[in-house]
Amino acid sequence: MEDRTEALDNLDFETFKHKVRLAYGMDLEACKRQQMERRLRTAMMNCGASTFLQYYNVLQSDSALLEEFVDRVTTNMSELFRNPEQFETLGAKILPDLYARNPNLSIWSAGCCHGAEAYTLAVLVEELLPPGSHRILATDIDDNMLARAESGVFHEQEMRNVSKSRIAKHFDRQSDNYAAKSALRGWITCRKHNLLEDPFETGFDLILCRNVVVYFTEEAKSALYDRFFQSLRPGGYLFVGGSERIRDYAARGFANPLPFFYNKAQPS
């Protein structure tokens, strides 16, 4: 009986994943099953669904629950200068190295959530680099997060790592929120993009993909890191999150000169 129940549960979840991919372009196959199931079962119970197929049918008819589902799957939590010491390294060592090779940097914040990372980059570019045609591309699969990113408005808690002097220089206070000034927003282009499905641009000097792939399977991560490698210029860097170190980086063609930073070697 337990084997039959387990088989039915597996079929239920596999059918759910297939339908989600067809309807919304989200590949849950690339996510670790146990972690993903845990994150979704609470939402299922809250809406009265006892199976994943019932949950899918509810999502089809309730746009608010669909937005909540996307938020749960994509882990939309971020803040400006998250892990400040890592961004200190980026500003002090990585950006000057990249600028010395290319005066017009192309940067990609992949899985940008509501844009906190992209605006952190814009602050550093504006403060630390001489004027140039620098470009920051911010992409995410979630339309709601992209809308927030385009607005450049952040809650007070999301600004806790930003110094008062930087806030005064780059943001305007709006009640309990902070809105990026137009000069800061001008560095950033927001675009919808599915890391598991869509083509990647090339020619980036720096790619940030931090705290995004933690729920991906090892196979999905491997494919993603290979695609990031191809998207970087020779000498470019991939900047990853604290729990996302690339174990076999050398076999992929990367060097690891600093923690969390992987460098694409230039041809000798």
Same domain, residue pair 156 and 113: yes
79 within domain boundaries: no
pLDDT at 157: 86
Indicate the residue among 74, 107, 127 that finishes a domain: 74
Each residue of 148-168: pLDDT tens digit? 999 999 999 899 999 999 999
Give the span between the Cα atoms of 178 and 170, in whole angstroms: 9
Each residue of 27-50: pLDDT tens digit? 676 666 777 787 788 888 888 898
Residue type, 48: G
Distance of alpha carbon 249 from the chain centroid:
20
Contacts of residue 104, Cβ cutoff 8 Å, sequence gap at least 6: 132, 133, 134, 135
136 within domain boundaries: yes
CA angle 237, 241, 243 (to 5 degrees): 130
Give the span between the Cα atoms of 217 and 213, in whole angstroms: 8
Indicate the residue among 47, 74, 101 that finishes a domain: 74
Q: Which of 18, 6, 73 is nearest to 43 (CA)?
A: 73
pTM summary value: 0.76
User: What is the number of domains present in the chain?
Assistant: 2
Which domain does 197 fall in, by range?
84-264
pLDDT band at 262 (very low <50, low <70, confident <90, very high): very high
Same domain, residue pair 200 and 107: yes
Give the span between the Cα atoms of 228 and 193, in whole angstroms: 14
Same domain, residue pair 30 and 115: no
241 within domain boundaries: yes
Q: In DSSP terms, which residues pair with 110 in a beta bridge?
A: 139
Q: What is the mean pLDDT of the chain?
A: 88
